Chain A
């Protein structure tokens, strides 16, 4: 008997389960469908956000010596931040687009339409972003 074939019940007989060939997922499974590739991009877009937070914490740590000793990071930090912003916006877009699918909000005999939920989610995102940006600008001033 070859190693690739399983035979859970051992010896053949009336009660023996048939031998089967197990499925093995190839390493390149995510290239098989466009949906898999988009899924991988969606999930990996969270990684630059994590990287950016590490860099941000480094910046905060460098502030310990006070404003006189602080040297802002070079232009590459700006470039990395732009990439991270793009990844964060893409991740946010994919997340909020799915809000209508995920949430079921009863309304009368039916539910709130999915499009309404998605629009409300994007609206909330814009308002919250504006509020946080306003607070940061106001705090900086």
Chain B
């Protein structure tokens, strides 16, 4: 058989298995981990949603944006401001966050995508994000550089108190699962296939009748919605928002997660987040060395596996499968 990236990563049973292992892994965290690790796992879930939303435009549609923190931050502040008020449902906050991220992405996308040339688009998205960063840092309503405090963890449906025990963790896990499922559908549906087609040959896609400009704008907006949701998940979790979440270095995170995990496969950024945060956590006590370890890991992955961790795994699997085929006689029992 020829190498076939799409199919090799796309077997339905493999997908369900991966999702099941991931869910079980996260569900088990409160059983063995301390408060710090449970909080870290919640942050990982937020970052997974953030990274997956970014990969909709980066890995799927082939657009490079340097300012994805802007949509995260707008979602986080929208949700955070609402949750400071008494009696506001956390779901209202979530929806507001998603809408805020999507609305900002739609506006910026409308301006930046008018000239779709790659570098111009990337720099423009960065410029808009930096503007938002300054706006937040200077506006009293947003808490300026000191941050937005007093964000409450409300009670859901009168019974589940997010402020008690591991409530916020389970809530974050549930929301992340729904959003991941949504991202998975987007990645594998007809519209997702057209985005992948646009990434590979935009002119061919256009002459299949696809409105390339509109599809890119929709993808960019949906990506903003996802980042907005990630921000909205983060607000009640952290309970403190600083302009840092709109800073360019925060935009760099999903790029790192995607490059580390691999952009060509849906699950790549998930692996990127887990490995990155795992490394960061396990090297946190070695002051100054943490960055060195993470930096050199990234360097090795990019040099050895240009397709990221997920791409590397696929390649290993293909080499594994090709071996019995090349040895000829023993391939009878291959499944």
A binds B: no
Show the binding face of A for B, using Cβ within 8 Å.
none
Which residues in B have some Cβ–Cβ distance to A below 8 Å? none
